[in-house]
Amino acid sequence: MISFELGVEDLADTRFAVSPLSETVLSLRVLHDPGLSAVHLPWRRSVLGALGGLDTGLLMSLVAVRLTLPDFLTPRPTVFDPSFEDELALARRTPPALVRRDLLAAHAPGRPPQPLGAAEDGDDAAVAALRDRICALLRRYWEIAVEPLWPQMRLVVEADMTYRARRLAMGGARRLFADMHPSLRWHEGVLHIDKMIGRHRVKASGRGLLLVPSVFAHKPAPPVSALEAPSLIYPSRGVATLWGPVADAGGAGAALVPLLGAPRARLLGLLAEPLATVELARRLRVTPSAVSQHLRVLHAAGLVTRARQGRQVLYRRSPLGDGLAAAG
């Protein structure tokens, strides 16, 4: 078990971020073990056929037998929305001593595989060269496997953040973590992460807690090292809908399409419950700006209502919209 002790100031400094580099590195687990997540098999099949020119031996060596990953390749985001290039530059600046520590810790108690041999018996120059090869390889892998789909992935994780923010506002930390994952447990100011390989307790000591929702994480993933600041990559909601076809919105029949147009009819069907723009965009696989344009029209016509909750605006069908959807 890994535990994070969080004081009042740490809870006040709890924040969310997205991390394209972490998603890229975590996706290697799915390539390594196809049985890990059946929902990602369509993505895996499409990617495997496109990796012919990459050093897959080195790529796969980053995933340990226990599926742990080197901490320096999942750096703690310093801003809410870092670019992949900014995060990769941060990883590339990792001192050789930390690169060695993280590679050995990820593969402990065994030895690192042959492509990572420099971490065990090489000098600092050899470890730095290995770090640079890994970063260059990850950049090429990102361009092939993740970057083309990053806009859709980002909508999924941002929708999860909206949901979590509502949970936090309604019930504090206990409710925030209650349905995040069965392995997470909040008790008397301590976040316990069960079924972990590591066995340590970390005091946040004013550093706060960083939460990073992830498409490819299959369980909570705190840093391997107890020396790192508290952060948690956790499985995002809504991943099951990512690779499948766009679901029918339901609740707004085909008769409404000639009246409202297909996009607005689908929106009206979805708004039987309060939803934010980013969640609607995720479900319909369009941009948030496109959703906003249609919502403005529906609101002006009196078919939807809107209310602010924290930093989000939630939309829902009005009584008039309910009647039109039912008639449709």
Residue 193 has, within 13 A of its CA and on its CB side, a CA count of 23
**Is the CA virtual torsion 142, 158, 69, 27 positive or negative?**
negative
Q: 249: closest CA among 268, 235, 222, 223?
A: 268
Q: Is 3 helix (H, G, I), strand (E, B) or coil?
A: strand
| pLDDT tens digits, 159-179 | 889 888 888 888 888 888 888
Is residue 251 predicted with pLDDT exceeding 50? no
Within 10 angstroms of residue 5's Cβ, the number of other Cβ atoms is 15
pLDDT per residue as tens digits for the range 253-308? 566 777 788 888 888 888 888 888 887 887 787 888 888 889 999 999 899 998 87
Global confidence as pTM: 0.74
pLDDT value at 17 more than 80: yes
Report, as an integer, the average pLDDT of 62-74: 92
Beta carbons of 261 and 298 less than 8 angstroms apart: no
DSSP at 192? E
Domain ranges of the chain: 2-239, 254-327
CB-CB contact of 292 with 277 (8 Å): yes
Q: Among 177, 196, 197, which residue's Cα sits nearest to residue 186?
A: 177
Query: What confidence tens digit (pLDDT) does each residue in 134-168 have?
Result: 999 999 999 999 998 898 888 889 888 988 888 88
Average pLDDT score, the chain:
87
Q: Does domain 254-327 have CATH number 1.25.40.10?
A: no
Count of beta carbons in the 10 Å neighbourhood of residue 81: 12
pLDDT digits (tens, 9 = 90+) for 24-43: 999 999 999 888 888 898 88
pLDDT band at 245 (very low <50, low <70, confident <90, very high): low
